[in-house]
Amino acid sequence: MVERPGLAVDGVSVAYGPLLAVDGVTLAVGPGEIVAVLGPSGSGKSSLLRAIAGLEPVVAGRVTWDGEDVTSVPVHQRGFTVMFQDGQLFPHYTVAGNVGYALAGRPRAERRRRVDELLALVGLEGFGPRPVTALSGGQAQRVALARSLAARPRLLLLDEPLSSLDRQLREHLVTVLSETLRATATPALYVTHDQSEAFALADRIAVLDQGKLLQVADPDTLRAHPANQTVAAFLGQSG
């Protein structure tokens, strides 16, 4: 048994030139757990996610998985996948080509089975041969979700995955996301500025402001006992 199963972020800082975007953040995501990082725009939450994924260099601190330091492991070897705000589907591949991208090297039959299984999971049966350019915004995000889960990542990082969609669709997709993550038991870090998404999805919520972690708590505790004025004000005003 490892000492600290899952993701551990220890005092991580991310800088852009002289600007410190993430300032000594410490956070953990346990097996099967969904943790939301909630903060206003510019709070550094996307930078934190990118640093965990390996897309941004860390100037201080370390990132570990099951106690093993992965801070300098290249992106493609970390086994963490990212679902981006606008999907970033590959325009030159079909839906099936996108979903199966991470399954390169597996036998064709297995690949096809897995793609079909995932498309069914996100409610897009039979969409495999379609070009991704013909999808609606909501469909594209569902394909992006299926693609991220295809290779059974050890951790899924979601970067505001629903914020480019309209409200009604967002409410529906939060449910799809939540059910899919629970069904696959995928641990996830969910970055958002929308507290209703965070409260609907997360086991625990981390509130980030100006690069600093203000509070980490389960939704009920957070609502009942905000750690300070800033957290209370942020939760109050964006409801």
Partner 1 sequence: MDDDGSVRRWRRPGDRAPAVQGVAALLPLAFLAVFFAYPVVTLVARGFRGDAGWTLAPVIDVLASPRTGRIVRQTLLLAVTGTAASLVLGVPGAYVLYRLRFRGQRALRALVAVPFVLPSVVVGVAFRSLLAVGGPLGRLGLNESFAAIVLALVFFNYSVVVRTVGALWAGLDRRTADAARSLGAGPVRVFRTITLRALAPAIASAAALVFLFCASAFGVVLVLGGTRWGTVETEIWYQTTQLLNLPAAAALSIVQLVLVTATLAVANATRARQERALRLTGRPSAQPVRRSDAPALIVTGLALALLVLPLATLVTRSFRTASGWGLDHYAALATAGAGTLTVTVWRAVANSLVTAVAAAGLALALGFLASFVLSGRRRGRLAGFFDAAFMLPLGISAVTVGFGFLISLNRPPLDLRTSWALIPLAQAMVALPLVVRTLLPTWRALDPRLREAAATLGARPARVFATVDLPFLRRGLGLAAGFAFATSLGEFGATSFLARPDKPTLPVVVYRLISRPGVDNFGLAMAAAVVLAVLTATVMAVAELLGPKEAVGW
Q: Which helix (H) or strand (E) holds 172?
A: helix 167-184
**What would the DSSP string read from start to end of 190-227?**
EEES-HHHHHHH-SEEEEEETTEEEEEE-HHHHHH--S
Q: Which helix (H) or strand (E) holds 174?
A: helix 167-184
Spatial CB neighbours of 110, under 8 Å, sequence gap ≥ 6? 103
Minimum distance of partner 1 from residue 225's CB (angstroms): 35
- Judged by CB under 8 A, does residue 79 bind partner 1? yes
- Judged by CB under 8 A, does residue 186 bind partner 1? no
- Judged by CB under 8 A, does residue 28 bind partner 1? no
Give whichever of 82 and 222 is closer to partner 1, judged by the CB atom: 82
As a whole number of angstroms, the distance between CA 146 and CA 126 comes to 13
- Judged by CB under 8 A, does residue 82 bind partner 1? yes
Minimum distance of partner 1 from residue 171's CB (angstroms): 26
Minimum distance of partner 1 from residue 170's CB (angstroms): 21
Minimum distance of partner 1 from residue 53's CB (angstroms): 6
Give whichever of 46 and 195 is closer to partner 1, judged by the CB atom: 46
Whether the CB-CB separation of 88 and 97 falls below 8 Å is answered with: no
Give whichever of 48 and 207 is closer to partner 1, judged by the CB atom: 48
Q: Which of 81, 186, 192, 215 binds partner 1 (CB under 8 A)?
A: 81
- Altogether, the residues listed in the chain come to a count of 239
Count of residues interacting with partner 1 (CB under 8 A):
30
Taking residue 196's Cβ as centre, other Cβ atoms within 10 Å add up to 14
Taking residue 91's Cβ as centre, other Cβ atoms within 10 Å add up to 9
Q: Which of 21, 34, 53, 135 binds partner 1 (CB under 8 A)?
A: 53
- Judged by CB under 8 A, does residue 19 bind partner 1? no
- Judged by CB under 8 A, does residue 133 bind partner 1? no
- Judged by CB under 8 A, does residue 102 bind partner 1? yes
Please choose, from the candidates 7, 83, 85, 38, the residue with its C-alpha nearest in 3D space to the C-alpha of residue 201. 38
**What would the DSSP string read from start to end of 22-53?**
EEEEEEEE-TT-EEEEE--TTSSHHHHHHHHH
Minimum distance of partner 1 from residue 204's CB (angstroms): 23
Taking residue 28's Cβ as centre, other Cβ atoms within 10 Å add up to 17
Minimum distance of partner 1 from residue 51's CB (angstroms): 11
- Judged by CB under 8 A, does residue 136 bind partner 1? no
- Judged by CB under 8 A, does residue 80 bind partner 1? yes
The residue ranges that bind partner 1 (CB under 8 A) are 15, 53-57, 59-60, 72, 74-82, 84, 88, 90, 92, 101-102, 104, 147-148, 150-151, 157
